[in-house]
Chains A and B, each alone.
Chain A
Amino acid sequence: GDSVTQMEGPVTLSEEAFLTINCTYTATGYPSLFWYVQYPGEGLQLLLKATKADDKGSNKGFEATYRKETTSFHLEKGSVQVSDSAVYFCALSVIGGYNKLIFGAGTRLAVHP
């Protein structure tokens, strides 16, 4: 079945460091891919998405490129801030699944001043 694998956390960085959170997927066909962020005590916020191969999603300095050849959707940010501390979830939309999302386990990011 479809699945998403994320790098395990926590990831601890200093402010202004470069961030990469790896995400790979297994799916039938070419699903849409998403990154969601969850701040403590809150729901999920969509960070970015890509709907087809080679698409690059971007938002608030975060970027991720849909790589069909490596079945990956790695999240990157050039300079993290303390306010980026949160849990990040990679997800895919199951083809024919009527908006069913499959999530990775989540990666906790802690950014220190």
Chain B
Amino acid sequence: KAGVTQTPRYLIKTRGQQVTLSCSPISGHRSVSWYQQTPGQGLQFLFEYFSETQRNKGNFPGRFSGRQFSNSRSEMNVSTLELGDSALYLCASSAGQPGNTIYFGEGSWLTVV
């Protein structure tokens, strides 16, 4: 059974640009959530989608957005990139019910220069 797949794995962007990251959840999982990991702030929740609907959102500016498609694949977008957006972005999937195990992908390493 394939795990959570994230693309691209590594990318470098310039300040002011935008970036789109993609996530394919484990087959059959309908919940996809996104996290940002930085050395200073640790792991922080961005948002969670279930059946194409955003159910929960973290405390990030509106430049961070996401969506989920009918096949449960998800994308997150960051517009007007800032240096502080450099981070590892992790996608996680689960069946979506309380107590379900949440599985993480390998992450997308974003560097903003």
Q: CB within 8 Å of B: which residues of A?
A: 32, 34, 36, 42-46, 49, 51, 89, 91, 93, 95, 97-106
Contact = CB atoms under 8 A, between A and B. Distances in A.
Contact of A99 (B58, B90, B102, B106): B102
Contact of A43 (B58, B90, B96): B90
| Interface size grouping (class) on chain B | 20 to 34
Contacts of B6: 43
Interface of B: 4, 6, 31, 33, 35, 42-43, 45, 48, 50, 55-56, 58, 90, 92, 94, 96, 98-107
Contacts of A42: 106-107
11 contacts: A34-B102, A42-B106, A43-B6, A43-B90, A43-B106, A43-B107, A93-B98, A98-B55, A100-B33, A100-B56, A101-B33
**For A45, A89, A99, A102, which residue has the most chain B Cβ atoms within 10 angstroms?**
A99
* Interface SS of B by simple majority: strand
Contacts of B102: 34, 46, 93, 99, 101
A41 to B, nearest CB: 9
Contact of B94 (A36, A89, A99, A103): A99
**For B102, B103, B106, which residue has the most chain A Cβ atoms within 10 angstroms?**
B102
Contact of A32 (B98, B104, B105): B98
B104 A43 contact: yes
A105 to B, nearest CB: 5
B31 A93 contact: no
A106 B42 contact: yes
B101 A46 contact: yes
Nearest to A91: B43
Given A43-B107, A44-B104, A99-B33, A89 B43 contact: yes
Contacts of A103: 42-43
Contact of B48 (A44, A46, A100): A100
